[in-house]
Structure 1
Amino acid sequence: MHLRIFGWSYAVTAAALVVAFIYGGLPGLILAAILGILEVSLSFDNAVVNATVLERMDAWWQRIFLTVGVLIAVFGMRLVFPLLIVGITADLNPAEALTLALEKRPESDPTSYAHLLNEAYPDIAAFGGVFLFMLFLDWVFDDREIKWLQWLEAPLARIGQLSRLSIVITLVVLAVLAETLAENPGAVLLSGALGMVTYLLVNGLGDYFESRMEHEHEAQVEAEEAAGRSGPSGLAKATGKAGFFLFLYLEVLDAAFSFDGVIGAFAITTDPILIALGLGLIGAMFVRSLTVYLVRKGTLADYVYLEHGAHWAIGALSVILLIGIGYHVNEIITGLIGVAFIGAAFLSSVLRNRRLEAQGIETRHTVDEIAAASHEH
């Protein structure tokens, strides 16, 4: 199973490193490898969250996510997106932005690709930070049966009974940070508002079509039982429009996660080709493979606190991005915080399983049980 899941990632990594060596020699190969490691370390929480959503999609949409989704992740977010940002900021067309990037001017040069991208970072951080902050708040305000940080998650779930609280908090935080940290508050407010609208629209449409699909599934089961036949069992997987909007939600989620990595890559190199090879081909492929591994192996069912750790890591990343409106936080700190939350959640899950096994209690929750609980809330 390992090679079946990670085989393409190994092959693509080898090919990307060969291309990096041909393109930039030994330094190019080393830089591409470092960027790949950076992307994986920053995106492990992304893979865990992706897995919780991917479990709700049928096999066809899962394949689309792992094929078309990879192309969007590699070429869209890791190559085209930075070029578009620089092009808009400097009033350049994409071809001129690519030419500017390939010139490899130092960041100290105000006309350089890296400088222009960093100039746009507050707006990017506001969009991505608000999107992820909304995701975190909606999750942490949910009242779930399984809680990791009981002392904190339980009172937050009670507070979350107030309708639209996540929107109110996010708007207040965005307004305060824009006025206190941003050099251009208007642009930051607009970017943050767009991040909120994107989250509400994509997430809302996905929930709507998935809810309709669940009702159709339940009606089918009842009809089968009334006719004396055994109907389908288990949680219905998202198909059609529901699957499409879950796919769209995953792509926007990946985009929000990738903002910090794309900007952070410029601390290593400003070469867009090496960034596309390292962050895109190597990093994005391994994140996709890791997502599939978590789904196929039922890791989230075995270690029930992993999803909690991933969402707390998302909360930390969203705060770091929002702080990035005025201050850029080092990527090493960003990566370590995510790893710390995931590691702590994994360790807590192991200790929980041992404690329950000693009491003779079943520790594994099926994938459908976890997905059903997530859907109900």
Structure 2
Amino acid sequence: MLFKTLRWSFLFTIIGLAIAFLYDGVTGVTVTAILIVLEVSLSFDNAVVNAKVLNRMSEFWVKIFLTVGILIAVFGMRLLFPLVVVFVTAGLSPIEAWDLALEKGNPDTPGTYGYILNDAHPLIAAFGGMFLLMIFLDFVFDEDKEHHWLGPVERALSKAAAFPGVSVLVALVWLFVFSRIFSEESADMLLAGVFGIILYLAVNGLGDFFDGGLEDELDDEGERRASTGEVVKATGKAAFSLFLYLELLDASFSFDGVIGAFAITSDPIIIALGLGVGAFYVRSITIYLVHQGTLSEYVFLEHGAHWAIGALALLLFVSIGPHIPEVVTGLVGVAFILLALWSSINYNKKHRGEDHVVHV
């Protein structure tokens, strides 16, 4: 099953490495392979969270996610996004930004493509960091979770849900504290961070709005499935809002990958190839998790993914100051996932055949 799910990723890996070889020889292949590994390691937790959302969508919208969604992920975030950042922050036209990108200048040299993108890092980190932080906070403050992975900690945090708007309040305090720590970047950080919160609330609110009307759009068969406890898949406007949420989530996760890639190479073609192929693997892993029902089988996997998201949000803000090696960011996310998987396996062994709430 896993090999079948990954077959398209393997195919695009071959195609991507072939293009890299024609473009820049052995060096191009080597750097592209490194970027593929970087993207997968940084985004594995993204796949777990994606799977939770995708499990609620109809088969049609799953296909849209795998086709239109991957085009947005590869060409939008991995190729066009860095160009947009450069021509907006440097006051260049899109053509001038592209020409500058193809010069492959050193990121440490003022005026180069990599340097301009790196200079915009505080703004990007604050925006992406706040979006991810809101996802994490809404999860840990959720009082309706059936299971608690980090027992006392998660149960205590879930009680805070009784306080209206607690996620937004904590996020704003977080943003203010970091804006004071990095006072030279405070104006950009505050603006970008608040925009990140607003965008999250807008997309989340849109999803809740469409989701609330989903039952009214169900046909008789859908109502029958709902009454028997079966999962009713989102369609129409509800599914579109979930799709939009997934794309924004992917964009937030890709920020650190795009920025980190410039520590390895400033060539936009190689970056797009490496991160683009890596994005295919993330999509494939997401589909595998959905089809295998992994999230329901391993009850703490979703918890580990959200704690990894919280860690990534923290690292994005910290990276506004000292550079954090991409390997550290990747390993932190993988560590949370593996620990959650290990906890889930142990839980299944202890409670095999039982069906009740876990207390850890």
- With structure 1 as the length reference, what TM-score do the two structures score? 0.90
Decide whether the 8 Å contact of 2:61 with 2:235 is kept in 1.
yes
Name the CA distance, whole Å, in 2 between partners of 1:92 and 1:25. 31
Q: Deviations over 1:97-154 (max 9, x none)?
A: 1111111111221011111111000000000000000110000000211111111100
The RMSD of aligned alpha carbons is 2.1
Task: Indicate yes or no: 2:205 matched with 1:204.
Answer: yes
Give 2:165's aligned residue: 164
Give unpaired runs (5+ residues) of structure 2: none
Name the CA distance, whole Å, in 1 between partners of 2:234 and 2:73. 22
Q: CA deviation at 1:179?
A: 2.5
Give 2:117's aligned residue: 117
Give unpaired runs (5+ residues) of structure 1: 364-377
Q: Deviations over 1:331-375 (max 9, x none)?
A: 111111101100000000011111112xx4269xxxxxxxxxxxx
Aligned 1:213-232 pairs, distance under 5 A: 213-217=214-218, 220=220
Give 1:322's aligned residue: 317
Question: Relative to 1, partners in 2 of residues 1:162 and 1:223: Cα closer, same or farther, differing over 3 Å?
Answer: closer
For the residue of structure 1 that corresponds to 2:214, the secondary structure is: helix
Name the CA distance, whole Å, in 2 between partners of 1:324 and 1:161. 33
Decide whether the 8 Å contact of 2:73 with 2:250 is kept in 1.
yes
- 2:248 counterpart letter in structure 1: V
Decide whether the 8 Å contact of 1:306 with 1:345 is kept in 2.
yes
Name the CA distance, whole Å, in 1 between partners of 2:307 and 2:72. 26
Give 1:361's aligned residue: 354
Give 2:257's aligned residue: 261
Counterpart pick for 1:272 among 268, 271, 283: 268
Decide whether the 8 Å contact of 1:178 with 1:325 is kept in 2.
no
Give 1:185's aligned residue: 186
For the residue of structure 2 that corresponds to 1:259, the secondary structure is: helix
For the residue of structure 1 that corresponds to 2:231, the secondary structure is: coil
Question: Relative to 1, partners in 2 of residues 1:25 and 1:152: Cα closer, same or farther, differing over 3 Å?
Answer: same
Q: CA deviation at 1:177?
A: 1.2
Q: What is the number of residues matched between the two proteins?
A: 357
Decide whether the 8 Å contact of 1:35 with 1:283 is kept in 2.
yes
Name the CA distance, whole Å, in 1 between partners of 2:327 and 2:142. 30
Task: Indicate yes or no: 2:283 matched with 1:288.
Answer: yes
Aligned 1:57-206 pairs, distance under 5 A: 57-143=57-143, 144-206=145-207
Question: Relative to 1, partners in 2 of residues 1:87 and 1:152: Cα closer, same or farther, differing over 3 Å?
Answer: same
Give 1:373's aligned residue: none
Task: Indicate yes or no: 2:247 matched with 1:251.
Answer: yes
Question: Relative to 1, partners in 2 of residues 1:26 and 1:233: Cα closer, same or farther, differing over 3 Å?
Answer: same
Name the CA distance, whole Å, in 1 between partners of 2:229 and 2:196. 37
Name the CA distance, whole Å, in 1 between partners of 2:3 and 2:71. 21
Give 2:334's aligned residue: 339
Decide whether the 8 Å contact of 1:182 with 1:325 is kept in 2.
no
Name the CA distance, whole Å, in 2 between partners of 1:354 and 1:68. 40
Name the CA distance, whole Å, in 1 between partners of 2:338 and 2:299. 13
Question: Relative to 1, partners in 2 of residues 1:304 and 1:231: Cα closer, same or farther, differing over 3 Å?
Answer: closer
Question: Relative to 1, partners in 2 of residues 1:221 and 1:292: Cα closer, same or farther, differing over 3 Å?
Answer: closer
Decide whether the 8 Å contact of 1:20 with 1:277 is kept in 2.
yes
Decide whether the 8 Å contact of 2:73 with 2:251 is kept in 1.
yes
Decide whether the 8 Å contact of 2:83 with 2:98 is kept in 1.
yes
- With structure 2 as the length reference, what TM-score do the two structures score? 0.95
Question: Relative to 1, partners in 2 of residues 1:222 and 1:248: Cα closer, same or farther, differing over 3 Å?
Answer: closer
Name the CA distance, whole Å, in 2 between partners of 1:224 and 1:75. 41
- 1:194 counterpart letter in structure 2: F
Counterpart pick for 1:236 among 215, 232, 239: 232
Q: Report sequence identity in percent.
A: 54
Q: CA deviation at 1:161?
A: 1.6
- 1:67 counterpart letter in structure 2: T
For the residue of structure 2 that corresponds to 1:326, the secondary structure is: coil
